[in-house]
């Protein structure tokens, strides 16, 4: 039979392809992760993340204005903490005048409408590089959650719109939600890293913040007792549903590309926005291949971001956000 339907008809020209495109990317889709350091006039490139920088507060202000001008309206803040401020309990994280708290205020001062999201986890503040307090060689769950709740309140007090716990302790969303309600922060949203896998793709991020688990006897060498096993799928659904029940407003899958099956499954299962974190190792991989001339940086970047959106992401945290928005406009 002569084909009545020729699928290539809808691919015949650029205009036609645009007409029938199913997935659209816009600046509104992105969260921009930013790394903040103490000091003045600092913009230091992260060795394993080419073209990505640690910024002091003055440069953070400049960067945020530029992002806003490009239509990027959300930032996700991370801080690099000096070694002498780190301890087992992450005490510095609660300092009302700490770097995170000042970074939040800096962004809100220069750009009040910019959505400020903050990383809530102990690892940048932990002398052991773990997301929780350590006792007898184990990462304590409930005591850690209490600190995370205090940290969240401290971020909300400084002006954060969204707190983003990235630690994977059990029950921490409920503990954080209760603390925020008790302190009157009814409108502070929680974006929970719900399905966060124990991934080797976080390496460059740990370089950026100097936050890798330390190699000391009796201290866990990895995060596998709290982050998820990458072999598991049903567990991601359980984690995500529990976080929503506990009060998460947005849930997240992390990393991105290797986990798009999980993203689709969760998108089909839940009724809250789903975020995906395209993590540091994914960024580094493409940068390295492009530097060698083995991959076309911009083309592969867009293909990856569209794939993440097509898989079901409503929000994408990406180190490529700026590059992508430049290309899209
Ligand atoms: C830590 C945290 C990590 C990332 C975000 N928050 C690393 C880790 O869990 O060790 C990784 C982000 C990235 O790799 O881009 N709480």
Tokens matching residue 68? 């806003």
Q: What is the pLDDT of residue 287?
A: 98
* For residue 1, pLDDT beyond 90: no
Atom of ligand 1 nearest to the CA of 166: 16
The DSSP letter of residue 100 is H
How far is it, in rounded angstroms, from Cα 67 to Cα 80? 21
Q: 190: which strand partners?
A: 163
| Rounded Cα gap, residues 268 and 263, in angstroms | 9
C-alpha distances (whole Å) from 216 to each of 80, 199, 202, 205, 320 are: 21, 21, 20, 21, 35
Read off the pLDDT band of 11 (50, 70, 90). very high
Instruction: Decide if 138 contacts 225 (C-beta within 8 A).
Output: yes
| Active-site pick, 196, 223, 309, 322 | 196
Residue 105, SS3 per DSSP: helix
Ligand 1 centroid to 233 CA: how many Å? 20
Task: Please list, in sequence order, all residues whose beta carbon lies within 8 angstroms of the beta carbon of residue 122, skipping any fewer than 6 positions away.
Answer: 89, 90, 93, 130, 131, 132, 133, 144, 147, 148, 167
Coil vs helix vs strand at 190: strand
φ and ψ of 188, to 5 deg: -80, 120
Task: Look at residues 172, 163, 165 and name the one whose alpha carbon lies nearest to residue 141.
Answer: 172
Nearest ligand 1 atom to alpha carbon 283? 15
**Ligand 1 pocket check for 166: Cβ under 6 Å:** yes
pLDDT band at 188 (very low <50, low <70, confident <90, very high): very high
Average pLDDT over the chain, rounded to an integer = 97
Q: Which band of pLDDT confidence, cut at 50, 70 and 90, is reported for residue 308?
A: very high
pLDDT of residue 3: 78
Report whether pLDDT(4) > 90. no
Nearest residue to 319 via CA among 287, 271, 290: 287
| Interacting residues of 67 by C-beta distance below 8 A, sequence separation 6+ | 32, 73, 75, 114, 322
pTM tops 0.90: yes
Q: What does the pLDDT look like over 250-275, one tens digit per residue?
A: 999 999 999 999 999 999 999 999 99
Lowest mean pLDDT among 1-5, 11-15, 38-42, 200-204: 1-5
pLDDT of residue 70: 98
Which two three-digit tokens encode residue 191? 């974006």
Give the integer Cα–Cα distance in Å for 240 and 265.
11
Q: What is the rounded CA–CA span in Å between residue 105 and residue 154?
A: 12
CA of 106 to the centre of ligand 1 (A): 23
Evaluate whether 197 touches 229 at the Cβ level (below 8 Å).
yes
**What value does the mean pLDDT take over residues 190-211?**
96
3-state secondary structure of 27: helix
> What count of other Cβ atoms lies within 10 Å of the Cβ of residue 214?
13
* CA–CA distance, 63 with 228 (Å, rounded to integer): 34
What is the architecture, at CATH level 2, of domain 22-252? Alpha-Beta Barrel (3.20)
Rounded to whole angstroms, the Cα distance separating 126 from 327 reads 39
Domain ranges of the chain: 22-252
Separation in Å, CA 94 to CA 106, 151, 238, 313: 18, 6, 30, 32
Mean pLDDT, residues 20-40: 97
Do residues 257 and 300 make contact, with C-beta atoms less than 8 angstroms apart?
no
Q: How far is CA 267 from CA 7, 216, 235, 236, 273, in A?
A: 28, 40, 15, 12, 8
Extract the annotated binding site.
Answer: 239
Categorize the per-residue pLDDT at 198 as very low, low, confident or very high, splitting at 50, 70 and 90. very high
Q: Whose CA is nearest to atom 14 of ligand 1?
A: 202
Q: How confident is the model at residue 2 (pLDDT cuts 50, 70, 90)?
A: confident
Annotated binding residues for Mg(2+), written as ranges, equal 239
Give residue 187's pLDDT: 98
34 lines ligand 1 (CB under 6 A): no
85-133 confidence digits (pLDDT tens): 999 999 999 999 999 999 999 999 999 999 999 999 999 999 999 999 9
Residue whose Cα lies nearest atom 16 of ligand 1: it is: 166
Question: Is 254 considered catalytic here?
Answer: yes
Cβ 296 vs Cβ 290: under 8 Å: yes
State what percent of residues in the chain have pLDDT above 70: 100
Q: How far is the CA of 124 from the centre of ligand 1 (A)?
A: 10
Residue 196: active-site member = yes
* Minimum-distance ligand 1 atom for the alpha carbon of 280: 15
């Amino acid at each position: 039979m002569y084909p009545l339907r020729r699928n290539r008809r809808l691919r015949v020209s650029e205009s036609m392809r645009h007409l029938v495109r199913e997935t659209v990317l816009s600046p509104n889709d992105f969260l921009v992760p930013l790394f903040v350091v103490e000091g003045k006039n600092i913009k230091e490139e992260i060795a394993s993340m080419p073209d990505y920088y640690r910024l002091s507060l003055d440069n953070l202000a400049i960067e945020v204005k530029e992002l806003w001008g490009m239509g990027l309206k959300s930032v996700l803040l991370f801080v690099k903490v000096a070694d002498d401020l780190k301890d087992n309990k992450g005490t510095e994280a609660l300092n009302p005048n700490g770097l995170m708290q000042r970074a939040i205020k800096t962004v809100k001062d220069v750009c009040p409408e910019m959505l400020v999201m903050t990383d809530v986890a102990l690892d940048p503040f932990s002398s052991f590089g773990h997301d929780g307090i350590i006792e007898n060689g184990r990462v304590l769950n409930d005591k850690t959650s209490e600190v995370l709740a205090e940290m969240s309140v401290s971020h909300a007090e400084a002006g954060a719109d969204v707190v983003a716990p990235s630690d994977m302790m059990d029950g921490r969303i409920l503990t954080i939600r209760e603390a925020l309600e008790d302190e009157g922060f009814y409108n502070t949203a929680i974006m929970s890293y719900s399905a966060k896998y124990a991934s080797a793709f976080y390496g460059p991020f740990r370089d950026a913040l100097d936050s890798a688990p330390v190699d000391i006897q009796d201290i866990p060498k990895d995060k596998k007792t709290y982050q998820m096993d990458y072999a598991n799928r049903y567990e991601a659904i359980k984690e995500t549903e529990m976080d929503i029940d506990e009060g998460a407003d947005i849930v997240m899958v992390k990393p991105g590309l290797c986990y798009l099956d999980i993203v689709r499954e969760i998108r089909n299962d839940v009724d809250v926005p789903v975020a995906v974190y395209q993590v540091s190792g994914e960024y580094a991989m493409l940068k390295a291949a492009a530097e060698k001339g083995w991959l076309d940086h911009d083309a592969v970047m867009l293909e990856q971001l569209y794939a993440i959106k097509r898989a079901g992401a409503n929000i994408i945290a990406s180190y490529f956000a700026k590059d992508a928005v430049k290309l899209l406009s």
